[in-house]
Amino acid sequence: MTNMASDIVTAFVAAWNRVDMDGISALLADDVFYHNIPMDPIIGKQATMAFFASFPPFEACDWQVHHQVATGNIVMNERTDRLCFNGVWIGFPVAGIFEIRDGKIAAWRDYFDLAMFEREMAKALAQPTA
């Protein structure tokens, strides 16, 4: 038996892996609460999508979900988020918690090591662009 909340998060991960920003946006509630735990939270779909747009452009994305569990409207996953910048793949472990409301992601919290992410980004961005 599948869990609808888990299916929504699986579709969200698939949208990231396609680098489909419209697909990502479509799965977020208008008032989504998004929190990369080492950083300040962001409230609202528009602000969340603006945050993503502020990142350096990446050519590819590969979120590798190792485990995902769901109960009711709560989904938790353990994953490795991989992004490709300037032909260089970076990766870092993430634990994500999603709350689903009315078929949309209403809250999304990711726990990760910000210093590791920053080191990985520095390596990728130090590469000359093609």
Active-site positions read 81, 110
Q: Which residues of 88-98 are buried (b: 16+ CB within 10 A; e: fewer)?
A: bebbbebebbb
Amino acid at 106: A
Say how far apart CA 2 and CA 37 lie, in whole Å: 29
- Three-state DSSP at 81 gives strand
